[in-house]
Every structure is written in structure tokens, then in C-alpha cells.
Amino acid sequence: MEDQSSYKADEDQLKDKLLLLRCHFTWDMIIAETEIPDLENRVLEEIMFLDIKYNVGIYNLLAYVKHLRGQNEEALKSLQKAEDLSQQEHANQSEVRSLVTWGNYAWLHYHMGQQAEAQIYLDKVKNTCRKLGNSSSYRMACPQMDCEEGWALLKCGGKNYERAKVCFEKALEVDPENPEFSTGYAIVVYRLEGFNKAQISAEFCLNTLKQAVKLNPNDAYIKALLGLKLQDVEQEAEGEKYIKEALTNASSKAYVFRYAAKFYRRKGVLDEALRLSKLALEETPSSAFLHHQTGLCYKSQISQIKFATNCQPKGQDKENINRIIPLAIHHLERAVQLKPTFELAYTSLAEMYAEAGDHRKADDTFQKVLCMKALDKEVLQHIHLHYGRFLEFHKKSEVDAISHYLKAIKIQSPSTDRDKSINSLTKLASKKLRRNPSDIESLSILGFIHKVKGEMNEALEYYERALRLAPGLENSAVIPRH
């Protein structure tokens, strides 16, 4: 019994030291279990197709993902690769770079029940920290460590982006002209701005990308992102220059193709977008991002045909739409299969099911995505808007459509989808009011919309008209209180 209790005490002491380390096992990265296969796939794609100078971190992350999958022997092989690369790539600072790898080794051996081996790596960390004059025995405070943590968080998906941004900011405070820190920071700002436009301005995002391109003039990946951002801010011609530059660069081709495809899809040059998407898919056939983008290209082709035929395609146009719909569905189904938490791909897929006339599948898909946990506000607005449109135009259910447009609007985050929801609701309420000028609900909805826009006089006018038609309505649910 005594042996057991002393073993437990030793184990607890070891765990306390392990918790002091800075490595993937202590960074609290938020990864849903269903996201692990997609994360592993993206890490392997990066190793194979992204030409980066800093591969040590990606092998460390691969080791952590292998551990999450219960493949500890494979994880050890990845850490060995990280250690070998550390000697090659960072000979002048290999000890600092190795701290993360050694920390991961220590944790991995601990999880494998190999306490003595875990202690060996803990000692390596302790000795290096002391040698480099660090006050803590097991933690090193330096920009390279902040950067390593930033890259790991960035790779693990949207719920980790805010913390990744803080890590890169800390690193840049110490070394503002560092090309690697600048690249990581620009990527995370670009991603966050795409998520949450209210908190990061397009101008700030553009400036961080320009700074990263200046410090990394041969990095085709970051140039492609700058091209997309310029397109976002309506500087498409300038953006295309960077996209073309990135395409002439031999590095990171699979990644450049996917971003160039997105650029040309948004420009409306769909044949070129599809050509580039297919080239990228040849290299990375398991990319959920690419399958989504390819599905969106086909979806845009359908929209182009409908627009050109005033939504009444006949003959060859109708045949083309019927040919394209299954292609779009195939790629969008593949995207959600590869990444089961891919909310935007579910919305696009639901719309394509509706286009194919399969309303039940469309409805089920919208319901499935609405039931997902911890959806971002902007994503939720996007889903409610598109579900509302489906209910209004495909199911001809104006009441349910109104409910979803209202849900999108009541989420306070400013976004283009919120603006579109306001627009859709205004059109629908106005149409109902033309049919029945005494429609109290439509009057109160229009009052609510003017209130949301800050147009208080117009809001009062509509509310008063509604109240005149139904005295005692003040306490009714029909007058929105938001």
C-alpha cells in the first residue's frame, strides 16, 4: 500500500511540473471531437503542400492530433521529426524551439505511463530554461514561444482565433519586424475580420496583410490573402495583381489555387474559378474548404443562368441547371462529410436541395445546422436569413419566413446578412400590406424595422397605425419590444 501511495505522490508531483510547461498539451485548444479528422487532414495538407520555413510547429501539432486519436506511437514519430527539423531549421535558436517539442514528449510519455522518460524531458526543459536565464524552471517567456502557441491555436479553428491573435501581438511587441510573427498575425486578423467585422476594421486587416507581404515578399500564400482582401474592399483590379503574382510563384500552389478560385468566383469568372478549384482538388482531394468552394462555383453558375433568363430558364438553360445541381450537391455533401461542423457548407447544401426540389432534405439540413452548439452570431444570422428565404420562396410559408428574418435581425451584430434580413423582411411585410392595408402584424413589423434603423418618427407612424386598428395592442406580442 505504501508503494502505491508513494507512486501516486510521485505521479502528482510529476503532473504539477507538466502543467507548468508551454506546449500543445497545456494550451487548452478548443477542438470538437468531430473536428479532429478534418484537423489532421489540414495538418497533413500543410506538411505536403504549404511551403513554409517553420515546419517544427506543424509536426508538433500533428503529434498532438495523433495523441487525440489515440495513436501515441505515431505521435512519438512526429515529435522525432520536429526535433530533427529543429536542428536543421533553427540551429541558432534550436534550444528555444525545442522546448515545445520536449514539453510534448514529456506529456506523451506521461500519458503512456512512462514516468521515467517524462522526467528526462522535464529535466531537458528545466536545464535549458535555467541556461537561458529564465526565472521559472519549466516555462520560457519569449516571443518564439508566443508565436508557436499562436500558430497552434490558429490551426485549430475559429474558436481559438482570439487567443491566437493575442499570442502574435505579444510576439510582435518584442520583435515588430519579424516576418514569421507578422505572417501569423496577418492570417489570424484576416480570419477574424471575416468572422466579426464589428471588432476588426477592413482597413486594419488590409494594413496587417500589406505589412506581412512587405516582410515576406516571396510568400505566395499571404499575397493571395491580400488579393482577396483588396477584392473585399472593392479594389478588385489591385487585388487581381497580387493573385496573378501568387499564381506565377512556384510555392504553395495548392493553397494559392484555392484562394485564386475564390477570387475569380466572387469576380464572376466562374470557368476560371472552377478550373483552379479542380487543380487544387487534384492535390488535396480531402479539403472541406475546397469542396465547399467548388460547390459554391456551381451554385453561382446556376444563379448566373437564372439571372440571364429572368428566373425562367428554358431549353438548354434548364438542362444546364439540371446538370449542374447534382455537381453542386456532390461537393457540398463532401464538404460536410469531411468537416461535420462546417455551418456555412450546410446552408449552401440546404439551398441546393431546395433547388433540386427536395424540400424535406433542405428543411432537415437547415434544422441540423440550427441545432449545432455554440454558433457564432454572424453564422446564426446567415442561417436564419437563408432559412427564411427558403421558407418564403420554396415553401411559400410567409409566417415562418418572418420568424427567421426577425431572429436574424434581433442578433445585434452588424453584418451584411443582418442588412439583407432587414431588406427581406421589409419587402415581405410591404407585400403583405399591399394585399391587406389593415394587416396589423405587417404594420408593426415595419415599425420595428424603422426602429432598428434608428428612424423613430417613421417607426412611431407605423406603430400608431397598428394601434388605431387594434386598440389595446400595447401589451400584445405583435408589437416587437426590441
pLDDT digits (tens, 9 = 90+) for 294-351: 999 999 999 999 999 999 999 999 999 999 999 999 999 999 999 999 999 999 999 9
| 95 in any annotated domain | yes
Task: Report if residue 50 sits inside a domain.
Answer: yes
DSSP state of 284: -
Extract long-range pairs of 233-236: CB within 8 Å, 24+ residues apart: 233/202, 233/203, 233/206, 236/267
Q: What is the DSSP letter of 158?
A: G
Which whole number is the average pLDDT over 142-157? Answer: 94
C-alpha cell at 407: 431572429
Question: Which residues, 6+ apart, have CB-to-CB distance to 138 below 8 Å?
Answer: 17, 20, 21, 122, 125, 126, 129
Of the two residues 373 and 152, the one the predictor is more confident about is 152
Burial of 438 from C-beta contacts in 10 A (0-12 / 13-18 / 19+): exposed
Domain annotation covers residue 151: no
CATH number at residue 2: 1.25.40.10
Place of cell 461535420: 340
Instruction: Report the C-alpha gap between 233 and 207 in whole angstroms.
Output: 12
Q: Say if residue 51's pLDDT is above 90.
A: no
User: Mind listing the pLDDT tens digit for each residue in 396-438?
Assistant: 999 999 999 999 999 988 888 999 999 999 999 999 999 999 9
Residue 478: the pLDDT is 47
Residue 217 pLDDT class (50, 70, 90 cuts): very high
**Cα–Cα distance for residue pair 224/265, rounded to 1 Å:** 14
Percent of the chain with pLDDT over 90: 80
**pLDDT confidence bin for 135, thresholds 50/70/90:** low
Measured over the CA atoms of residue 452, residue 456, residue 462 and residue 466, the dihedral's sign is positive
Tell me whether residue 106 is in a domain: yes
Task: Determine contact, residues 108/79, Cβ cutoff 8 Å.
Answer: yes
**Mean pLDDT of all residues in 241-250:** 95
- With both helix axes pointing from N to C terminus, report the angle between 115-131 and 2-18 in degrees, rounded to the nearest 10: 40
d(CA 218, CA 292): 28
Summarised one tens digit per residue, pLDDT across range 410-420 is 998 888 899 99
Under DSSP, the state recorded for 124 is H
Q: How many residues can be counted in the chain?
A: 482
Residue-averaged pLDDT of the chain:
92
Is 172 domain-assigned?
Answer: no
Cα 317 to Cα 320, 322, 325, 408, distances in angstroms: 5, 9, 12, 34
**pLDDT score recorded for residue 196:** 67
What predicted TM-score, i.e. pTM, was given to this entire model? 0.90
Residues 263, 239: contact at Cβ < 8 Å? yes
Q: What is the pLDDT of residue 200?
A: 86
Rounded CA-CA distance 335/415 in Å is: 25
**Lowest-confidence region among 49-53, 162-166, 202-206, 246-250:** 49-53
Contact 221/260 with Cβ under 8 angstroms? no
- Report the C-alpha gap between 34 and 374 in whole angstroms: 14
Task: Label residue 424 exposed, middle or buried (CB < 10 Å: 0-12, 13-18, 19+).
Answer: buried
Q: Is 121 inside a domain boundary?
A: yes
- Span 191-205, pLDDT tens digits: 998 876 657 899 999
- 3-state secondary structure at position 217: coil
Q: 474 falls in which pLDDT band (50, 70, 90)?
A: low
* Alpha helix stretches (DSSP H) within 287-314: 288-308
Number of H-type helices and E-type strands within the chain: 23, 0
Q: Is residue 414 part of a domain?
A: no
What is the pLDDT, as a whole number, of residue 481?
A: 47
Is pLDDT at 275 greater than 80 in this prediction? yes
Per the structure, the complete domain to which residue 80 belongs is given by 1-141
Is the pLDDT at 5 greater than 60? The verdict is no
Side chain identity at residue 412, one-letter code: Q
pLDDT at 6: 54
Mean pLDDT across the stretch 64-73? 97
Q: Which residues contact 431 (CB under 8 A, 6 or more apart)?
A: none
Q: What is the mean pLDDT of residues 143-154?
A: 95
Query: What is the pLDDT at residue 482?
Result: 45
Residue with cell 415562418: 400
What integer is the mean pLDDT of 251-256?
91
Q: Domain for residue 417, yes or no?
A: no
| pLDDT on residue 137 | 76
Give the number of domains in the chain.
1
